[in-house]
Amino acid sequence: MTDPSSGPDPEGPAEDEGPRDLVQYTFFHVRPEWRTLPAADRERAKERFAGVLDRPPAGVRVRTYSLVGLKAGTEMMVWSIGPEVASIQALHARLLGTPLGGYLETAYSYLGMARRSEYLGEHAHGGEGSSTQRRPLGLPYLFVYPFVKKRAWYGLAYEERRRIMGEHFRIGHKYPKVRIHTGYSFGLDDMEFILSFEADSPDEFLDLVRDLRSTEASRYTELETPIFTCVLTSARRMLDLAEGLP
């Protein structure tokens, strides 16, 4: 796992970080009545919706994922990364303004912001944890979940927390193909972090999470659910799958 900064906290210096990316994970549920509309109406609506995703506001990066058959209550996920709140809002307003928007429910929504990890130290070798930007790699799978630490974690001395995270990093380095994208959500959303992990296959992420269960750091986990398994796909394919087209 490259730069496994899943245990960071809000303390430590943040000066000279530069602009920080905002990250938004929006999970949509398509109402069943959508699938009963005439095929021509659905086709036009999908073209409009996909067009918004394919041409997002300036500075916004978008990746689309399908969750059909993988999670109850949601079929689609839009991962958007942008320089400011206004651009993220503009994208979602355009999506809701399409004909399909009237048949969508936002099942889950998570907002975070990029910043440098406080615990990397010698591990800061140019990856995600040492940057204020988040850049999708385009790997086939994305695993997303909110994360909250127990308050006792923040009562530990910084050096003690860094020692504990050292074990976390060492296990993470056994899985170099799993790439983490940490969003810090203190004061922005209900959780403390929104974590996502790109991987080539579900099995390598399952093994990573299993190995992390026995670490000292895991004892300070308060919340790490719900968890979403998302499959990378084009905007149009995401919509076809949500409609029920194989």
How many distinct structural domains can be found in the chain? Answer: 1
Q: What is the pLDDT of residue 7?
A: 36
222 in a structural domain: no
Task: Specify whether the CB–CB gap between 91 and 62 falls below 8 A.
Answer: yes
Q: What is the pLDDT of residue 120?
A: 67
Q: What is the pLDDT of residue 16?
A: 52
CATH code, domain with 79? 3.30.70.1030
pLDDT (tens digit per residue) in 135-189? 889 999 999 999 999 999 999 999 999 999 999 889 989 999 999 999 999 999 9
Q: What is the pLDDT of residue 6?
A: 38
pLDDT (tens digit per residue) in 62-81? 999 999 999 999 999 999 99
| Rounded Cα–Cα distance for residues 195 and 227 (Å) | 10
87 in a structural domain: yes
Both structure tokens of 180? 């983490």
- Helices 39-54 & 235-243 angle (0-180, nearest 10): 150
Q: What is the pLDDT of residue 149?
A: 97
Task: Specify whether the CB–CB gap between 142 and 180 falls below 8 A.
Answer: no
pLDDT (tens digit per residue) in 186-244? 999 999 999 999 999 999 999 999 999 999 999 999 999 999 999 999 999 999 999 99
14 in a structural domain: no
Contacting residues for 89 by C-beta, under 8 A, at least 6 apart: none
Q: Which of 145, 175, 184, 220 is catalytic?
A: 145
The residues that bridge with 29 in the sheet, in sequence order, are 105
Q: Is 145 noted as a catalytic residue in this protein? A: yes
56 in a structural domain: yes
Which of residues 19 and 37 earns the better pLDDT score? 37
5 band by pLDDT with thresholds 50, 70 and 90: very low
| Domain region containing 86 | 22-111+231-243
**Exposed, middle or buried: residue 18 (CB in 10 Å: 0-12, 13-18, 19+)?**
exposed
Q: What is the pLDDT of residue 157?
A: 96
46 in a structural domain: yes
Task: Specify whether the CB–CB gap between 43 and 207 falls below 8 A.
Answer: no
